[in-house]
């Protein structure tokens, strides 16, 4: 067949892949997630934008593989932060992936097989979907396929290609380290077919990996080849609550940053010190191995379940649900080309390839090692999809084998192969695990949360209600509605929805925390205590957990215990500025102004633009007689803060400490007209009244302050002094 004809076919595969992806782009742009990445995509987006802003090197070893965020950061830099340009480029990359599958298949199974594999890859809906996500899949799959293609070229006689194959393997490794299990077999294959060039392949792999390893070593002092997340991921896939397809564990929260913080805080509490990054990973690896060692039968069942999940027709979600997006896109609703139809034929092709292992060595090695590596952790659509291009090629192998047997009239073998296809089809499509997809409730809730962050609360509420329409027992939707009601000060409704959330899911720590905040605001201290203690029971390191418990203790007058709890919150979450502010306020109330100033200074470093924190610090400086520093802070506040009632309060404090009592008095009185329950104004105006010969007015103000906050030490002390004088 003329070379020109092959080129035309290759161009046809590439064009089909690109056209379908661009058609899907039209659907994708209408989704809320397009301009608002969530979970892992949000992590990549945030990291890439920091890179685009010039923060090229961090001070920590890489938690996640760095290549994709750096490529994305470069694209953001050149495109001024566009969300469209990365998608277009990834669709181009995905189209080139289909082209390289065509070229690889042509070398292994000829033109007919290349056309089958290339077209399957071009139109496969899940590949198209992931090419449009701000995730590593598009880039990783491209490097994996190019690596297989270059390995085949290298072993055919172009020896220098071993170096380039190694480089693309190294690039794949620093995009997603799961390919690491394939590398020893790639090196073995090189040794088997071109022994002299094994070192060249190894050097190629090392070239892109070395800068990552060196960075990790220089910032941590530890040997971390690529990432330090392996241990936690291994544990999430191998623990008492693991379901085989999601990142689930008994003690780690399900939200991204909550889980990340718990992952570090738990080994820290066990060790009694700050663990290194390698120690965090080792801790979770040891926990997973302990589960395996102590529960061999249970773990074996879990592994079998993950094997069945890997070869199941169901696409289990991880970052967001492909099944939800599929329902919105004509391009993705392809009923013929799915895992359910490709996998059975691909498995037959895999058996054919194993029999002819020398010819298909690298493809077979990649499929088997990637399968094993995925099952070792947990299985979902996102982590399974990198095997699809190789599976498309193997499906071509299987189809060509079956057609060849039919043409040769080898009916016994032909029927045997068809029987295998039917058997594998049953395994793939029967859902042997009994696991079910989360359904639309999860996706509707995710859309609602995006809309909340965009300030579209009415639309968000409609999506949360949609979630409950399709699944009346979806706890997160109840929680989100409760949080919206809480923000609008409809506390009765908020309590009702949040209580329903924890009734359905008793371990929902964030809902318990929200209930505690409402009860605390309503002055129901005992109910607030019960709610926050439940939150801490299910998530011992939840942010603001000890902060809220400390606030309850403070309001009950247990100031010493409150101080301990504020400090415990800060120990767990050193960047929790609210805890620093509350600690400063506690010190200020006790007259420990130097310590209060230090706490407020810490808070202001964390949130330098927060006018309330700045005002609290200004007030403390004024109390310490540092009027110049206090005035300087107030003058730096932006014009919007000028209307802040706390700004005028702190101005009054500064005037009061400067001896300008009448001016301070006028401001306090004005504040109390607006907010009769302003504790600080009540106490300080009482001081002015006491000093100007109005003890009864002073007493009334201090008593009112104590009615609002019975633990107000300043009001108590002032009343006692007034009583002694009388």
| CATH code, 698 | 1.25.40.10
Burial (CB count within 10 angstroms: exposed 0-12, middle 13-18, buried 19+), residue 659: exposed
CA distance 268 to 650: 40
Measured distance CA(465)–CA(441) in Å, rounded: 9
**Residues 6 or more apart in contact with residue 188 via CB below 8 angstroms:** none
Q: Is 659 strand, coil or helix?
A: coil
CA pair distance 652, 236, nearest whole angstrom? 55
Q: What pLDDT score does 607 carry?
A: 92
Domain encompassing residue 683: 661-726
Higher pLDDT pick, 521 / 2: 521
CA 559/CA 547 separation, integer angstroms: 13
Tens digit of each residue's pLDDT (9 = 90 or more) over 26-84: 999 988 889 999 889 999 999 999 999 999 888 899 999 999 999 999 999 999 999 99
Cα–Cα distance measured from residue 531 to residue 537, given in angstroms and rounded to the nearest whole number: 10
Question: What is the pLDDT of the chain when averaged over all its residues?
Answer: 91
CB atoms within 10 A of CB 343: 26
* Domain identity same for 43 and 111: yes
- pLDDT tens digits for range 235-244: 999 999 999 9
**Is 521 inside any structural domain?**
no
The first and second tokens of residue 297, run together, are 């039968």
Q: How many whole angstroms separate alpha carbon 265 and alpha carbon 283?
A: 12
84 with 30: CB under 8 angstroms?
A: no
Q: Calculate mean pLDDT across residues 385-406.
A: 95
Show the tokens assigned to 65.
Answer: 């593989």
258 against 682, higher pLDDT: 682
Give the residue from 248, 276, 310 where a domain finishes.
Answer: 310
- Cα–Cα–Cα angle for 107, 113, 119, nearest 5°? 110
Residue 151 lies in a domain: yes
Residue 685 CA to residue 700 CA, distance in Å, equals: 11
Instruction: Flag whether pLDDT at 130 surpasses 70.
Output: yes
First vs last C-alpha separation in the chain: 113
User: Do 268 and 220 belong together in one domain?
Assistant: no
Instruction: Give a three-class secondary structure readout of 351-381.
Output: HHHHHCCCCCHHHHHHHHHHHHHHHHCCCCH
Nearest residue to 256 (alpha-carbon basis) of 56, 41, 450, 80: 41
Rounded CA gap, 545 and 527, in Å?
15
Q: Which residue has the tokens 């890439």?
A: 48
- Determine the Cα–Cα distance for residues 351 and 420; give it in Å rounded to an integer: 10
Examine residue 86 and state whether it is found in any structural domain, yes or no: yes
pLDDT in tens, 560-575: 999 999 999 999 999 9
Q: Are residues 652 and 676 in the same domain?
A: no
- Tell me if 428 sits within 8 A of 307, measured CB to CB: no
CA dist 229 and 233 (Å) reads 6
Same domain, 79 and 138: yes
**Which residues fall within 8 angstroms of residue 499, CB to CB, at 6 or more apart?**
515
Q: Is residue 506 part of a domain?
A: no
399 located within any domain: yes
Query: What is the token pair recorded at 102?
Result: 């065509």
CB-based contact 317:442 (threshold 8 Å): yes
- Residue 631 confidence (pLDDT) above 80: no
Evaluate whether residue 275 is within a structural domain: yes
Q: Are residues 672 and 649 in the same domain?
A: no
Write out the two tokens for 688.
């002015």
Nearest to 348 by CA among 411, 391, 309: 391
| Rg of the chain on CA atoms, in Å | 32
pLDDT in tens, 550-561: 999 998 889 999
CA distance linking residue 499 with residue 356, whole number of Å: 61
Beta carbons of 586 and 559 less than 8 angstroms apart? yes
Report in angstroms the alpha-carbon separations of 339 from 374, 428, 436, 486: 16, 8, 16, 44
pLDDT of residue 638: 59
- What is d(CA 603, CA 616) in angstroms, rounded to the nearest whole number? 10
- Is the pLDDT assigned to residue 655 strictly greater than 90? no
Q: What is the DSSP letter of 656?
A: H
Residue 651 scores a pLDDT above 80: no
Q: Report the 10 Å Cβ neighbour count for 533.
A: 15
For 473, other C-beta atoms within 10 Å of its C-beta total 12
More confident position, 612 or 277: 277
Instruction: Give yes or no: residues 287 and 192 share one domain.
Output: no
User: Which residue in 334, 467, 324, 389 sits closest to 140, CA to CA?
Assistant: 389
DSSP 132: T
Q: Which of 310, 339, 368 is the last residue in one of the domains?
A: 310
Q: Are 257 and 541 in contact (CB under 8 A)?
A: no
Q: Phi and psi for 431 in degrees, rounded to 5?
A: 55, 65
Q: How confident is the model at residue 105 (pLDDT cuts 50, 70, 90)?
A: very high
Boundary residue ending a domain (659, 675, 690) = 659
pLDDT value, residue 640: 54
Which residue's entry shows tokens 């590596």?
373
- Residue 216 pLDDT more than 90? yes
Number of C-alpha atoms within 13 angstroms, CB side, residue 275? Answer: 21
Q: Looking at the structure, tell me whether residues 117 and 24 fall in a common domain.
A: yes
State yes or no: pLDDT of 399 exceeds 60.
Answer: yes
Shared domain for 209 and 322, answered yes or no, is yes
Among the listed residues 368, 234, 243, the one whose alpha carbon sits nearest the alpha carbon of residue 314: 243
207 lies in a domain?
yes
d(CA 258, CA 383) in angstroms, rounded, equals 22
Tally of structural domains, the chain = 4
How far, CA to CA in Å, does 178 sit from each of 175, 426, 510, 606? Answer: 9, 29, 33, 37
701: closest CA among 674, 681, 725? 681
Give me the mean pLDDT over the 494-509 stretch: 94
Residue 137 and residue 45 in one domain: yes
- 706 in the same domain as 625: no
Which strand (E) or helix (H) includes residue 554?
A: helix 545-555
Q: Over 90: is that where the pLDDT of 602 sits?
A: yes
Check residues 624 and 176 and name the one with the higher pLDDT.
Answer: 176
pLDDT attached to residue 713: 79
CB atoms within 10 A of CB 40: 18
Q: Determine the average pLDDT of the residues in 274-291.
A: 94
Tens-place pLDDT, residues 445-494: 999 999 998 889 999 999 999 999 999 999 999 999 999 999 999 999 99
H-type alpha helices, 124-197: 125-131, 137-155, 161-173, 183-193
Q: How far apart are CA 658 and CA 670, in angstroms?
A: 19
Q: In the numeric block, which tokens belong to residue 479?
A: 């929680």
**Phi/psi at 371 (5° precision):** -60, -50
Q: Which residue do the tokens 């999506």 mark?
A: 463
Query: In this structure, are 291 and 305 located in the same domain?
Result: yes
pLDDT of res. 238 = 94
Q: Is the pLDDT of residue 101 over 90?
A: yes
What pLDDT, on a 0 to 100 scale, did the predictor assign at position 190?
Answer: 95
208 and 345 belong to one structural domain? yes
Residue 627: pLDDT band (50, 70, 90) is confident
334: in domain: yes
**Measured between alpha carbons, how far is 551 from 554 in angstroms, rounded to an integer?**
5
Q: What is the pTM of this model?
A: 0.85
* Alpha-carbon span 315 to 335, nearest angstrom: 14
* Closest to 542 in 3D by CA, of 282, 154, 234, 262: 262
- % residues pLDDT > 70 (the chain): 98
3-state per-residue secondary structure call for 35-67: HCCCCHHHHHHHHHHHHHCCCCCCCCCCCCCCH
């Amino acid at each position: 067949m003329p070379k020109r004809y092959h080129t035309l076919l290759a161009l046809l595969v590439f064009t089909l892949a690109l056209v379908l992806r661009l058609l899907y782009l039209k659907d994708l742009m209408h989704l809320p997630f397009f301009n608002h990445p969530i979970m892992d995509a949000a992590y990549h987006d945030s990291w890439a934008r920091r890179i685009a802003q010039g923060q090229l090197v961090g001070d920590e070893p890489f938690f996640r593989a760095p290549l994709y965020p750096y490529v994305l950061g470069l694209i953001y830099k050149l495109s001024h932060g566009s969300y469209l340009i990365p998608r277009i480029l990834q669709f181009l990359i995905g189209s080139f992936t289909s082209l390289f599958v065509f070229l690889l298949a042509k070398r292994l199974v000829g033109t007919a097989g290349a056309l089958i594999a290339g077209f399957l890859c071009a139109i496969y809906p899940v590949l198209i979907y992931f090419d449009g996500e701000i995730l590593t899949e598009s880039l990783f799959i491209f490097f994996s396929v190019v690596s297989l293609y270059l390995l085949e070229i290298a072993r055919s006689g172009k020896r220098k290609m071993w170096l380039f194959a190694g480089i693309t393997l190294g690039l794949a490794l620093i995009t997603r380290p799961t390919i690491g299990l394939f590398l020893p077999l790639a090196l073995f294959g090189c040794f088997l077919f071109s022994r002299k060039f094994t070192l060249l392949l190894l050097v190629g792999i090392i070239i892109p990996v070395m800068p990552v390893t060196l960075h990790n070593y220089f910032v941590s002092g530890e040997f971390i080849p690529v990432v330090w997340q392996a241990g936690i991921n291994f544990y999430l896939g191998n623990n008492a609550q693991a379901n085989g397809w999601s990142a689930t564990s008994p003690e780690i929260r399900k939200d991204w940053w909550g889980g990340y913080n718990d992952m570090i805080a738990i080994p820290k509490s066990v060790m009694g010190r700050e663990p290194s990054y390698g120690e965090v990973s080792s801790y979770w690896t040891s926990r997973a191995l302990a589960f395996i060692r102590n529960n061999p039968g249970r773990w074996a069942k879990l592994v079998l379940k993950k094997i069945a999940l890997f070869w199941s027709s169901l696409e289990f979600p991880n970052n967001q649900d492909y099944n939800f997006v599929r329902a919105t896109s004509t391009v993705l609703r392809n009923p013929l080309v799915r895992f359910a139809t490709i996998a059975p034929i691909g498995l037959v092709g895999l058996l054919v390839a194993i029999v002819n292992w020398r010819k298909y060595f690298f493809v077979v090695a990649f499929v088997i090692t990637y399968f094993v590596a995925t099952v070792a952790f947990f299985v979902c659509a996102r982590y399974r999809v990198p095997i699809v291009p190789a599976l498309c090629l193997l499906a071509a192998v299987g189809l060509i084998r079956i057609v060849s047997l039919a043409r040769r009239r080898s009916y016994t073998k032909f029927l045997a192969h068809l029987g295998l296809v039917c058997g594998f089809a049953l395994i793939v499509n029967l859902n042997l695990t009994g696991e079910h997809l989360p359904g639309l409730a999860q996706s509707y809730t995710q859309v609602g949360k995006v809309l909340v962050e965009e300030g579209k609360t009415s639309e968000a509420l409609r999506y949360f209600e949609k979630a409950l329409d399709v699944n009346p027992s979806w706890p997160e939707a109840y929680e989100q509605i409760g949080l919206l009601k809480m923000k609008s000060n409809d506390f009765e409704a908020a309590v009702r929805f949040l209580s329903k959330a924890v009734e359905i899911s008793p371990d929902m720590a964030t809902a318990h925390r929200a209930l505690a905040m409402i009860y605390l605001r309503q002055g129901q201290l005992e109910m607030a205590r019960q709610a926050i203690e439940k939150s801490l029971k299910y998530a011992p390191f939840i942010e603001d957990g000890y902060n809220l418990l400390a606030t309850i203790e403070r309001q009950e007058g247990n100031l010493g215990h409150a101080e301990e709890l504020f400090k415990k919150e800060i120990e767990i979450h050193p960047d929790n500025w609210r805890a620093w502010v509350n600690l400063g306020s506690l010190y200020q109330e006790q007259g420990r102004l130097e310590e209060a100033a230090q706490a407020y200074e810490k808070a202001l470093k964390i949130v330098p633009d927060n006018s309330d924190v700045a005002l609290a610090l200004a007030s403390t400086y004024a109390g310490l007689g540092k009027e110049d520093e206090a005035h300087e802070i107030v003058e730096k506040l932006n014009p919007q803060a000028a209307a802040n009632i706390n700004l005028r309060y702190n101005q009054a404090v500064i005037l009061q400490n400067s001896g300008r009592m009448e001016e301070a008095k006028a401001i306090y009185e004005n504040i109390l007209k607006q907010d009769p329950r302003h504790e600080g104004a009540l106490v300080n105006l009482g001081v002015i009244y006491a000093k100007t010969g109005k003890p009864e007015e002073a007493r009334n103000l201090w008593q009112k302050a104590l009615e609002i906050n019975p633990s107000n030490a300043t009001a108590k002390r002032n009343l006692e002094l007034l009583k002694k004088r009388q």
